[in-house]
Amino acid sequence: MVRQLRENRSKFFRVKCPECDNEQVVFEKASTVVDCVVCGKVLAEPSGGKADVKAEILATLE
């Protein structure tokens, strides 16, 4: 039998809201619209696979 090692293929992003400079963590493959918790601006929208991130990506978390 062959054993496959599965690595985590998905990532989280630390993003910065362009309106209020709030930093927030967003999943790379978000399936729902992600809003800023402070001002309500859309930070990421689903697009079939990976989310369309509308904010500045500060760091990639694994």
pLDDT tens column, 31-48: 999 999 999 999 999 998
CB 48 within 8 A of CB 35: no
Q: What is the mean pLDDT of residues 7-14?
A: 84
23-27: average pLDDT = 95
Banded pLDDT at 8 (limits 50, 70, 90): low
Q: What is the DSSP string of the chain?
A: -----------EEEEE-TTT--EEEEETT-SS-EE-TTT--EEEE--SSS-EE-SEEEEEE-
Q: Please indicate whether residue 17 or residue 8 has the higher confidence score (pLDDT).
A: 17
Per-residue pLDDT band for 4 (boundaries 50, 70, 90) equals: low
Full set of structural domains in the chain with CATH = 12-61 (2.20.25.100)
pTM above 0.85, yes or no: no
